[in-house]
Chain A
Amino acid sequence: MSTLTENRAFTRKNFAATLAGGYVPLILATLVVFLPLLWMVLSSFKQPGEIVTTELKFLPESLNLDNYREAMTTVPFGQFFLNSVIVTAVGSTIKVTLAILTAYALVFVDFPYKNAVFVLILVALMVPAQVSILPNYILIAGLGGKNTLWGIILPGLGTAFGTFLLRQHFLTLPGSILEAAELDGAGHWRRLWRIVVPVSVPSIATVGLVTVVSEWNDYIWPLIITDRPESMTLPVGLTLLQNSESNGAGWGILMAGAVLVILPVLVIFAMLQRYIVAGLTQGSVTG
């Protein structure tokens, strides 16, 4: 009898512990992330009178798309979106390809100074992007790259980060699988695409997604190199919505703009988060 009560108490205690130790922190952490974003979405439907007011209204009066309409007519958001997609797609594809090639060369091709080359790449990681703004502006503007998409893409193409992450991953691959291929007479090119890449898909996906995200979110360089809406990307266009005067009533419009910038990344992330998280995890443990 006594064992039974004890057992039940234990279960109840266990249940409470699970709740306190398991669910409560989880829910709390999730809310901390979601509430600000929820507030952004709610506010994007609010009219100036609902934001600039003396009493708080949590929910918008209606799901009114005026702010979105305003945001998209004040500045050409459609064009920004297209530009962002092009810059991200082209930039990421090239960057990931270059990273794979360089990392492969650093790990699997024999070359006496490759550690020195790797140090150079590592140091490049330390160069704050902000440092290169002015020199790169002078260079790209001189080449006629101002207000062009290639002008936005080109300076960022050299990739130290992707190379670094992939190299760390390639180092963990067992040498035996490549030796077999070498004995078969496969050249580097085939070894890379037939063996190394297929077994590294999660890592490459991580590098790809991190690259996509950073290209999409990149702000300071596109801000400097573009001044015409035709060639601006979304983050730059978003700041274009901020005007010098009469601004507070514009919060709703700004939030609508923020939704347009944030949502695509959120959707892509939601679909592919498994790869990002798994890949980054791997990178951290092995590298």
Chain B
Amino acid sequence: MNQPASNQHLLRRQFLGLSTAVAVGAALAACGGPSTSGGSTAQAAADVDFSGVKPAASFDFWSTHPGKSQDVEKELIAKFQAKHPDIKVNLITGGADYEEIAQKFQTAQAAKSGLPALVVLSDVWWFRYYMNKSIIPMDGLLKQLDFKLDDFRETLVADYGYDGKQWAMPYARSTPLFYYNKDHFKAAGLPDRAPKTWAEFAEWAPKLKAASKARFAFMYPALAGYAGWTLQNNLWGEGGGWSKDWEITADSDANVKALQFAQDSVYKDGWAGVSSKDSADDFAAGIASATLSSTGSLVGVLKNAKFNVGVGFLPGGPASQSPVCPTGGAGLGIPAGVPKEQQLAAATFLKFISEPENTALFSAATGYMPTRKSADMSTVLAKTPQIKTAMDQLAVTRKQDNARVFLPGADQEIAKAAAAILTQKADVKASLGSLKGKLEDIYAKDVKPKLG
């Protein structure tokens, strides 16, 4: 057996050595990580001028293939290649979801290597890229390519505007949609439409449950990643919201009322459930008679459901019946830190896939919104008439609250608060109060200093 004393001695000596190594390493480390000199590298902020730049021969396009769009993305790339044989597009799966692609993109940004020239970014991520100067403004590229925005649906483009510049372009854009099981509604003797208000649905729910034998009359969307988005509808209907500009209003009386209603629908009245993964699947399986889900789920639901699917606008509340529908989904951004030639090549491709017939093609394959007003949707609508409702609802959408989309991590905090309220029966007022504190903290720590 050894004497413990010598071990201790050994360890102490080792730690001394280690701390010397730390000092040496700190110097070494400085070359790999970020710069702490404070001298700003303003390459992203400057309005980059692209005149005289030639598009690169190839570039990487990172996508999550939203709405199972890998095939249609490949189709669009093939079409593009036929027209521009000199620009090769490498389609890369950047991640399984918006969070994963963001993780990979930020890691690549930190390492300043392996960056794509075009990246899918969700509604909650683009602003962070803007703050970190990870994406460039589109304005210079739009000018260079004579890429006009007036035929785009205004709200979809306006979502990516900040500081007088355009930071991304709409791609797989969606809104939530009210899905209902027509057969269940008929069996319950209800009108064949979405409810006008949540109060109306609360009256329908017991009848629906009794007549349909489905487990729930309504399924709340999975909280992770969706709660902050779809609950905007409930809050706005009551006249509330997550924030007003930068002022966090998470625990307002209107919000408390809206979420108390939601909690009661789960616990007191027992007609609603909370999805664990994807409420569109639960709905398509017949577990619930109605749900809210992204328009991007539409094509999938129609394929999987063995009943007649109805869709409608989101229900309103006592304070507001319209607009109570948030926009959402993903856009495409052009990263900073890649050569101008690649950025231009990426923008050329972006312009191409935004053309009316191509956005119609993408829309038909997924159910996402066509981004152009002049997109010819007649063949699509003949096949999937429900997309029309989604398109009409676009006219009555509202921009999401800053707190959800502009605060890093806010979506997760909102989801946690919603989980406490809807699955743990936590006190609504208290949960929203602590949520407010967290959101204010994020704003003060991660956002305010960067907005200058």
Q: Do chains A and B touch in the complex (CB under 8 A)?
A: yes
The answer to whether B93 and A240 touch across the interface, beta carbons within 8 angstroms, is yes
Interfacial residues of chain B within 199-230, with CB under 8 A of chain A in the complex: 214-215
The answer to whether A246 and B67 touch across the interface, beta carbons within 8 angstroms, is yes
Most buried by A among B108, B215, B285: B285
Is A154 close to B, CB under 8 A? no
Interfacial residues of chain B within 278-325, with CB under 8 A of chain A in the complex: 278, 280-282, 284-287, 294, 296-297, 300-301, 304, 306
Is A24 close to B, CB under 8 A? no
Is A135 close to B, CB under 8 A? yes
The answer to whether B32 and A139 touch across the interface, beta carbons within 8 angstroms, is yes
Cα distance, A22 to B113, chains bound together (Å): 59
Partner-binding segment picked from B10-18, B130-138, B381-389: B10-18
Is A272 close to B, CB under 8 A? no
Is B96 close to A, CB under 8 A? yes
The answer to whether A248 and B278 touch across the interface, beta carbons within 8 angstroms, is yes
The answer to whether B68 and A243 touch across the interface, beta carbons within 8 angstroms, is yes
Least CB distance, A106 to chain B, in whole angstroms? 14
The answer to whether A123 and B304 touch across the interface, beta carbons within 8 angstroms, is no
Interfacial residues of chain A within 234-253, with CB under 8 A of chain B in the complex: 239-249
Interfacial residues of chain A within 73-117, with CB under 8 A of chain B in the complex: 74, 115-116
Partner-binding segment picked from A157-165, A187-195, A202-210, A222-230: A222-230
B110-130 interface bits toward A, Cβ cutoff 8 Å, 1 = contact, 0 = none: 110110000000000000000
The answer to whether B286 and A245 touch across the interface, beta carbons within 8 angstroms, is no
Is A141 close to B, CB under 8 A? yes
Instruction: Please classify the interface of chain A as helix (H, G, I), strand (E, B), loop, or mixed, using the class held by over half of its residues.
Output: helix
Interfacial residues of chain B within 32-58, with CB under 8 A of chain A in the complex: 32-33
Given A123-B14, A246-B68, A249-B281: A141 touches B93 (CB 8 Å cut-off): no
Most buried by B among A137, A240, A246, A247: A246
Partner-binding segment picked from A10-18, A46-54, A177-185: A46-54
Q: Hey, which chain A residues are within 8 Å of B11, CB to CB?
A: 119
Q: How many residue pairs between the two chains, A and B, have CB atoms under 8 Å in the bound complex? A: 106
B349-379 interface bits toward A, Cβ cutoff 8 Å, 1 = contact, 0 = none: 0000000000000000000000000000000
Cα distance, A48 to B285, chains bound together (Å): 9
- Total count of chain B residues near the partner, CB < 8 A: 47
Cα distance, A55 to B92, chains bound together (Å): 39
Given A54-B286, A119-B14, A134-B110: A244 touches B297 (CB 8 Å cut-off): no
The answer to whether B304 and A48 touch across the interface, beta carbons within 8 angstroms, is yes
Is B97 close to A, CB under 8 A? yes
Is B198 close to A, CB under 8 A? no
Cα distance, A245 to B297, chains bound together (Å): 7
B3-15 interface bits toward A, Cβ cutoff 8 Å, 1 = contact, 0 = none: 0000000110110
Q: Hey, which chain A residues are within 8 Å of B282, CB to CB?
A: 248
A-B contact pairs, 27 of them (CB 8 A): A52-B281, A53-B286, A54-B287, A116-B14, A119-B14, A134-B110, A137-B111, A138-B33, A138-B110, A139-B32, A142-B111, A227-B62, A228-B92, A240-B93, A240-B96, A243-B64, A243-B96, A244-B64, A244-B97, A245-B66, A245-B294, A246-B278, A246-B297, A246-B300, A248-B278, A248-B285, A249-B304
